[in-house]
Structure 1
Amino acid sequence: MTDRRVQKTKQAIREAYLSLILEKDTPKITITEIAQRANIDRKTFYLHYDSIADIIHEFGRQETEELILRLEQNDFFDDTSDVAVLFRALNTLMEENLQLYQHIAKTPSYAFLWGAIKDILKESLIETMGERLDISKAELEICAEFYAAGTISTYLEWLRGDLPMTDDELAQIIGDTAYYGLQKLLTKPQEKA
């Protein structure tokens, strides 16, 4: 019974924080504002979180865990020949909170959130792929950083509206680039001007 109430309170706190993000163009959201929106007092907030950063980290971790679950359901880790599966799964995950993702992508003061999400994605790639690959720890770190940073950077441009294409087109292009690298571009016939 207590566990359900704890989860319900934590969910109310997260939802309050995320709704405040959508309303404000600044990350200066106070614990008092969150507590009022969640209909709790500040002491209750501190029973569940030490800081607002803990909410962000938990949200990023939950999103990443959901992404990994979706990838496992699509056998991504057993057959990585279709890397676009990763990005299609990311698209469907973002669609559930698209307005939030677009807002924080367009608001420069929320850049720290993307850094946190990138770090969580990198960490998850290392945890998930580390056992499957026979490479050094340093090489794994570099590859995970490359994929996580490139993915976040590209999605930020798309969420801001700087890449005029559908999410499926974006997933295919990023997937092809992630799998084939620049080789695919180099083997395409060049269009003449």
Structure 2
Amino acid sequence: MKLSGHEDLRVQKTIQSIRTAFSVMLLKEDYRKITVTALCRQAVINKKTFYRYYDSVDALLEEILSEFSKGYVDTIADYRVPEDLDKINAAFFHYAVHQGPLYEKILCSVSYQHLSSHLVEEYIAKSWGKAPAFQNLSPGEQELFTTFIHATGLSMYRQWVEGGKKLPVEEVIDITNKLLSQGVAGLLPSNNPENGQ
């Protein structure tokens, strides 16, 4: 249940308790093993209280994923694709770094890859999906293109995290920008003056 801030203080505390307990559990164990019973025990509430606010554990997770996705999509809302790909990539890394361990785990853990894919698919639909250059591609080219964007940025982030963040985030952004822009430039024309067009 998304809070508007106008709810009764007890409701706010209950929702916060559920979300905190869920976040703690997600960091400790595989999502598929989290049950409503275990979540209620962790949140110190009963099942009836949980079901008053959420239909299922999946609904709670979906809410959290939507908030993560919305935050990032809002951050890049004014950027144009493909012209601002470097800014979009930098925004992704900066956003991810500031979201904390739960976001990092969802993006990096093998058992959560289907969840992180959801975040990336939403971003692609709201950004690239509306870009005129992307619309000019055939459906087959669009599929390959979105796979490239999805796999490249996310894989680079995952590798950086799994490798212990040996490079400063700004250096990682610079490297991924070079790799992404060269790959994208091969398929999409750009009106970016830096590309000589």
Q: In angstroms, what is the RMSD of aligned CA positions?
A: 3.1
Amino acid at match of 1:44: T
Amino acid at match of 1:122: E
Alignment partner of 1:31 is 2:36: yes
Amino acid at match of 2:49: T
- 3-state SS, counterpart of residue 181 of structure 1: helix
- 3-state SS, counterpart of residue 40 of structure 1: coil
Alignment partner of 1:69 is 2:68: no
Q: Of 13, 18, 25, which aligns to 1:13?
A: 18
What residue number does 2:114 align with?
A: 115
Residue 179 of structure 1 deviates from its aligned partner by 1.4
Amino acid at match of 2:86: A
What residue number does 2:128 align with?
A: 129
What residue number does 1:149 align with?
A: 151
CA distance in 2, matches of 1:132, 1:82: 11
Higher relative contact order (CA closer than 8 Å, sequence separation 6+): 1
Q: Which runs of 5+ in 1 are unaligned?
A: 185-193
CA contact (8 A) 2:106 2:116 kept: no
TM-score normalized by the length of structure 2? 0.72
TM-score normalized by the length of structure 1? 0.73
Q: Of 91, 95, 98, which aligns to 1:96?
A: 98
CA contact (8 A) 2:107 2:116 kept: no
Amino acid at match of 2:141: E
CA distance in 2, matches of 1:182, 1:139: 12
CA distance in 2, matches of 1:54, 1:143: 30
Q: Residues 39-58 of structure 1 correspond to what in structure 2 (within 5 A)?
A: 39-58=44-63
Instruction: State the Cα deviation string for residues 58-88 of structure 1 (Å, max 9, x = none).
Output: 222211111111112xx322x6434232232
Identity of aligned residues (%): 25
What residue number does 1:179 align with?
A: 181
Residue 40 of structure 1 deviates from its aligned partner by 2.2
Amino acid at match of 2:117: K
Residue 17 of structure 1 deviates from its aligned partner by 0.8
